[in-house]
Structure 1
Amino acid sequence: METTSTPTHCPYCALQCGMNLSPTPEGGVEVTERVDFPVNRGALCGKGRTAPAVLSSGVRLTSPLVRSGGTLVPATWDEALDRIAGELGAIRAVHGPDALGVFGGGGLTNEKAYTLGKFARVVLGTSQIDYNGRFCMSSAAAGGIKAFGLDRGLPFPLEDIPKTGCVILVGSNLAETMPPALRFFTELRENGGTLIVVDPRRTRTAEQADLHLMPRPGTDLALALGLLHLVVAEGRVDEEYVRERTSGWEEARAAAMAHWPEHVERITGVSVPQLREAVRMFCEPEAAMVLTARGPEQQSKGTDTVGAWINLCLATGRAGRPLSGYGCLTGQGNGQGGREHGQKADQLPGYRKLDDPAARRHVAEVWGVDPDSLPGPGRSAYELLDALGTDIRSLLLMASNPVVSAPRAAHIEERLKSLDFLAVCDVVLSETAALADVVLPVTQWAEETGTMTSLEGRVLLRQRAITPPEGVRSDLEVMHELAARLGVEKGFPTDPEEVFEELRRASAGGPADYSGITYRRLVEENGVFWPCPAPATPTTPTAPTASAVDDDGEDAGLDVFPEDPARDEAGPAQPGAVLPGTVHPGTPRLFLDRFATDDGRARFVPVSHRPAAEEPDEEYPVFLTTGRVVAQYQSGAQTRRVDELNAAAPGPFVELHPRLAARLGAAEGDPLAVVSRRGRAVAPARITTGIRPDTVFMPFHWPGEGRANTLTNPALDPTSRMPEFKVCAVRVEAVER
């Protein structure tokens, strides 16, 4: 038996914690410490420690399944692939390529996400592709593009957090969602810095804060504007920074001044003294940060909310400076890389814009196709799912479980059932896979090699540690076989490193430039931060030439590196240039010299508060907000199959304040019905003073009658197309036992 361990990364969240996999006498693997990776230094949460449990053949799929007579039955790979190709080809012949939908996942490696986008556009010819990462940080991405010209979750490494003076953490319970990251904030406080947490619940994270602000759900935008108002009123604006490094301040200032403290207190429920204390704590240190997560982002005004927090950073000179900045805590394992390389409705690899002619020419040349053959932008994730069974007649779905994770989930479940044909590639028989006509069993994290991009923008290599079970194939093999059956014999390799080499060429010159990254570098350097352009040669450009945008349509710009010190008589080298014969080191910290806009200045965006799409009323008098618990992950499709995790978090619950419980006559553990305009969910009561009396909380990991997303509102942000997961109006009713 081999005794060597394989260095790799956790399959779950965007921390991508380092771990080693070591063989066991029984033929499996166990997780052991990997202290050399700087993000977690060997520490892991329960999900990471127990990740090998899902590798067991007892809990995962090991044979293709094909629906016959209303039942999924085992089939050969040829039977399953022939069925998928035949159905897709027949539907396309009758209804056209846009009748074929493709839905990806934020857990796919960069290689698979890249290939899925290429497969949709080159093989199927459809514009109807998006992925569940749209539900993760699309609002933060759109806000970052508007302000900075570029989106990367964190524009600095996590190691900078303990060295700053103050962090405002908005809508993140990372003590449960990313436990190993909590140490950065613990070290921040040990170093004399302060932590402000904004959350309507007193979470495990909020318990660590020096100041906890508990706004009403859906009022984070007003809160940020109120803080900016006080920054102006108290003379705390960094006038020199605003003058030299930004544009648009006067309009943003005027918008903020309409949100005076007493007005903001009435909207948010956060007192004026707390507002003033937050401003003092944030402005007094030399450096400070704002970090947002799903709380403010998963709203129908999420992009504007992110913009308001960025405006606070800009007005106080807290962006593009050492140990300062705005960042987003990406949730899904490859939520960052997944949207950079083409599985998003409006993008091509390298974070290029799909409707940009120069971007289309560049990528089409790499792919060996006519640029005019590439379809234009398609629907966003929820809009795509909502259209299933209408003009979208079939769906190929990889690594997602929208029956549990989509807003208005009961409706989406019905849309999936209305399809002419549904094919799902997954590790387990998820609730969505159970509805499929064909299910393909695919390899998992430990059984395949591929790259992931963490929330820091650090590209990492997950290495294959074990051989997959007989009967299981990789997603790359699936797309290779389907492409061949649909008439495209070349261009879909199955070797992940070969795919990555093509991805490097496709991303070259784009904002998310991976062209200087190789598998060898990823092993030797413990990851490389993008952008990382390839070395220049006398016959190749020395700087990017294409531009990119995100959902908001703003030019993303390209000057994201600190300016190269090399000079010659012709003038300065272009930002981002790599001199011939040199290797670019990667870019851990963005924007230190200039922002990625045409003029190098960050842009203030004037925003104003507006209510949530659905506010409480007489019929639905309570706010519902949703989130995660430490022992489960996303839709729970994998973690709900691990005994240890189920013992810690066996099912859904309704968290509510004692005052609300008293009005309902409910005791701890009593069943409660939570009812919205979209449906009804039932779960036991969990009574705590750590939540606002006007708010209830439900975790969203479970299907069935306790499915939280039965209730959530699909109202979309007009820019990011993010659904409003984090706030809707409900009523709560006691249920007889």
Structure 2
Amino acid sequence: MTTHAGTTTTDTHCPYCSLQCGMGLRTAAPESGGSGEWPASAAPDVFVEVVERPGFPVNRGALCGKGQSAAEVLRRGVRLTAPLVRDGDGVLREAEWDDALDRVAAGLAAVGRAHGRDAVGVFGGGGLTNEKAYLLGKFARVVLRTANIDYNGRFCMSSAAAAGKAAFGIDRGLPFPLEDITRTGCVILVGANPADTMPPALRYFTDMRAAGGRLVVVDPRRTRTAAEADLHLQPVPGTDLALALGLLHLLIAEGHVDEEFVAARTVGFDAARAAAMAHWPERVERITGVPVEAMRDAVAMFASAPAAMVLTARGPEQQSKGVDTVGAWIDLCLAAGKAGRPLSGYGCLTGQGNGQGGREHGQKADQLPGYRMITDPAARAHVAGVWGVDPDSLPGPGRSAYELLDSCGEEIRALFVMGSNPVVSAPNAAHVTARLAALDFLVVTDVVLSETAALADVVLPGAQWAEESGTTTNLEGRVILRRAALPVPDGVRTDLVTLNELARRLGVERGFATDAEEVFDELRRASAGGAADYAGITYDRIRAEDGVFWPCPEVGHPGTPRLFLDRFGTPDGRARFAAPTHRASAEEPDTEYPLYLTTGRVLSQYQSGAQTRRVPALNRAAPGPFVELHPDLAERMGVGEGDPVSVTSRRGRAVAPARLSREIRPDTVFMPFHWAGEGRANTVTNAALDPVSGMPEFKVCAVRLDPVGKVGKVGEAGSTGSAAGGRGGAALSGSAGASSDGLGEAVLARASGAPGGGR
């Protein structure tokens, strides 16, 4: 923290994606003045602006538009400033904190008594700090004693996590620092578009190419990232597994297997070779649409480079066969000897800000802190010892994220949501919205009145990233510290305080500290000896070292920027080949639904848009949803640029303007998923789950495209993804913060019993 001429600058980090870019927050009293128009913060008499922090190594001062405008969400008119409680008329009204917390505790306890502890569910978020994620998991298992806790990070990189753990014994997004990308010889980037999703990371690929490295991008769309590549492979959506197997076939057939590495450091190559041999190039071309010569070029670039990497993102992971797909790409790395060596390896570009740490420390249904499995007796004993409870009192594994949401109103009768917006972000979102509406009791803790919060019985306003300290773990496994730059505003409490108050009301007086550093010190003890060992990481070390890489088992340990150079994390130190076989997606096009839909992000919005849709500059850049389609398809459909079109699947219908582009396959349409209402992409997406990871198949489903006016009305059942029935109205009274997408009208519509909006 530095102070100069009436201003104070606090070193902290962006609240958005997994890069966790370093930034400064400069604050000043109004009389001190400042440069430009500073947005008013929620704290009275304080102004704040984002400034560069060039010394932080991940982004070296660079910020995308989301990071540059992050302070906008701190404004009074945007965020929640008081608890809201639904009254007997179905209206959300402002309430005192004690009243709201008493109602939450009573509601959760009543459901537990009437239907059993597991009838109460907890749904967390990948943006929560490590301290919040840890304490939320502890709250579920010690206070509520429910098995049913999961989080929206299940929708992010769970398939990559499962495949990485199976292959290497440890799941960490990148087992090496981002800086290693600049010095490798070739990167195959599968289903990732960092130019739009994490722009400051693009320089690593640019620098790699400037040094003579080659970039291969696999994507059904010619994205801004693909346009910069040396080679773009444009497969049919859902065929990434076949493509990986075809590349492995060519690697083997053309003599590029590193036999010495395979023999010394891996297990299971014979099965992987047999699987690859069943996927000869011509067969793979028929499945994927990628020409054999393009596959040969990709293999030549990858195999000839002294060091090389495969990096995946949501494209191959958000599929009902995502674990097998990532496993096949890992097999390619292992066979070529491009893993467990300097500047080589497989990595996953994590999406959410703390998607990595969020699952390491207890939000995931089957895991305890330190990345321990909840079914492991030794893990249960260790964590129970830190928590001061009997290991037998800890519940077993619960439902994965979508299964948890799908069971709401039936097996799950009450749900506590912290920092997530499943009404917009979940697949088959109309169904999910209906399930939430059918709950006996719904509580949402968030910083804004999201679409999910608008359905709640009680809404609790949380402090924001600039108002509280806490750690997150970025995609490299670097544990960093967000520092508070502003006081918590009147009427708002930190989530740690909220959990403490609820635990006390539910009979647990101790073990829920409200100071983030104290919680982190407990987390360190709980993680000690686990795969994700934070025991040697302290707040002081993070401040001094720009973050510390886990595992770090003791204070004198330097941390581990690079995993697997000596051995993999398996019991015998050898990596495991996966040896999968290609299979079709859960839903393929047919005569009724002849096109593929794939979904993703745009540059100026983030995830469900709950925060970015409240920033005017970002809304000007990306004002609403759209349907991207090829001009040839548009001509056949009689659709022009900007014409409203409907995208219909077996689950529902979304409507948005057409955006014509030659950068997408003619058999595929694309929709971004940041918006609610009739343009909600996840109304259409398929909830088919990967059997290992529980990841839904967001990236591919079968749809029909129609010009609006030639099909049923937009407001017909299933078209907007809203839910009728349930707990009744969702009208709002008081200053809960206005939404930028017509949420107020949607809330009032639900109050009158009409279909409304959804998050």
TM-score normalised by length of structure 2: 0.90
- Structure 1 position 498 matched with structure 2 position 518: yes
SS for the counterpart of 1:396 is: strand
Q: What corresponds to 2:222 in structure 1?
A: 202
Query: What do the CA deviations read for 1:200-225 (whole angstroms, capped 9, x no partner)?
Result: 00001101100000000000000000
Q: What corresponds to 2:206 in structure 1?
A: 186
Q: Is the 8 A contact 2:496 2:513 kept in 1?
A: yes
Partner residue of 2:8 out of 4, 10, 19: 4
- Structure 1 position 38 matched with structure 2 position 11: no
For structure 2, list consecutive stretches of 5 or more residues without a partner in the other structure: 31-45, 711-759
Query: What do the CA deviations read for 1:90-114 (whole angstroms, capped 9, x no partner)?
Result: 1111111001000000000000000
Q: What corresponds to 1:61 in structure 2?
A: 80
For residue 2 of structure 1, report the CA deviation from its aligned partner.
4.3
SS for the counterpart of 1:5 is: strand
Equivalent position amino acid for 1:16 in 2 = Q
Partner residue of 1:622 out of 595, 599, 616: 595
Equivalent position amino acid for 1:406 in 2 = A
For residue 24 of structure 1, report the CA deviation from its aligned partner.
4.0
Partner residue of 2:701 out of 688, 713, 728: 728
Q: Is the 8 A contact 1:102 1:396 kept in 2?
A: yes
Partner residue of 1:319 out of 339, 348, 356: 339
- Structure 1 position 21 matched with structure 2 position 25: yes
- Structure 1 position 666 matched with structure 2 position 639: yes
SS for the counterpart of 1:161 is: helix
For structure 1, list consecutive stretches of 5 or more residues without a partner in the other structure: 536-582
Equivalent position amino acid for 1:51 in 2 = A
Runs of 4+ in 1 over 4 A off after TM superposition: none
Q: What corresponds to 2:658 in structure 1?
A: 685
The 5 A counterparts of 1:523-672 are 523-534=543-554, 583-672=556-645
Partners in 2 of 1:48 and 1:73 — Cα distance?
Answer: 32
Equivalent position amino acid for 1:517 in 2 = I
Partners in 2 of 1:134 and 1:383 — Cα distance?
Answer: 11
Q: What corresponds to 1:289 in structure 2?
A: 309
Q: Is the 8 A contact 1:24 1:30 kept in 2?
A: no
The 5 A counterparts of 1:396-411 are 396-411=416-431
Partner residue of 1:351 out of 358, 361, 371: 371
Partner residue of 2:134 out of 114, 133, 139: 114
- Structure 1 position 482 matched with structure 2 position 486: no
Equivalent position amino acid for 1:185 in 2 = F
Q: What corresponds to 1:577 in structure 2?
A: none
Partners in 1 of 2:6 and 2:19 — Cα distance?
Answer: 29
Q: What corresponds to 1:170 in structure 2?
A: 190
- Structure 1 position 215 matched with structure 2 position 235: yes
The 5 A counterparts of 1:336-485 are 336-485=356-505
SS for the counterpart of 2:669 is: strand
Partners in 1 of 2:324 and 2:49 — Cα distance?
Answer: 45
- Structure 1 position 276 matched with structure 2 position 280: no
Partners in 2 of 1:35 and 1:4 — Cα distance?
Answer: 17
Partners in 1 of 2:198 and 2:219 — Cα distance?
Answer: 16
Partners in 1 of 2:106 and 2:317 — Cα distance?
Answer: 40
Partners in 1 of 2:15 and 2:390 — Cα distance?
Answer: 37
For residue 468 of structure 1, report the CA deviation from its aligned partner.
1.9
Q: Is the 8 A contact 1:57 1:469 kept in 2?
A: no
SS for the counterpart of 1:424 is: strand
Partners in 2 of 1:10 and 1:468 — Cα distance?
Answer: 18
Q: What corresponds to 1:696 in structure 2?
A: 669
For residue 4 of structure 1, report the CA deviation from its aligned partner.
2.2
Q: Is the 8 A contact 1:408 1:709 kept in 2?
A: yes
Partners in 2 of 1:491 and 1:735 — Cα distance?
Answer: 56
Q: Is the 8 A contact 1:5 1:22 kept in 2?
A: yes
SS for the counterpart of 1:447 is: coil
Equivalent position amino acid for 1:401 in 2 = N
SS for the counterpart of 1:715 is: strand
- Structure 1 position 718 matched with structure 2 position 706: no
Q: Is the 8 A contact 1:715 1:724 kept in 2?
A: yes
- Structure 1 position 335 matched with structure 2 position 355: yes
Partners in 1 of 2:6 and 2:348 — Cα distance?
Answer: 41
CA RMSD of aligned residues (A): 0.7
TM-score normalised by length of structure 1: 0.93
- Structure 1 position 48 matched with structure 2 position 67: yes
SS for the counterpart of 2:598 is: strand
Partners in 1 of 2:546 and 2:368 — Cα distance?
Answer: 27
Q: What corresponds to 1:256 in structure 2?
A: 276
Partners in 2 of 1:679 and 1:215 — Cα distance?
Answer: 26
Instruction: Kindly tell me the number of residue pairs found equivalent between the two proteins.
Output: 690
Partners in 2 of 1:147 and 1:23 — Cα distance?
Answer: 47
Partners in 2 of 1:511 and 1:128 — Cα distance?
Answer: 23
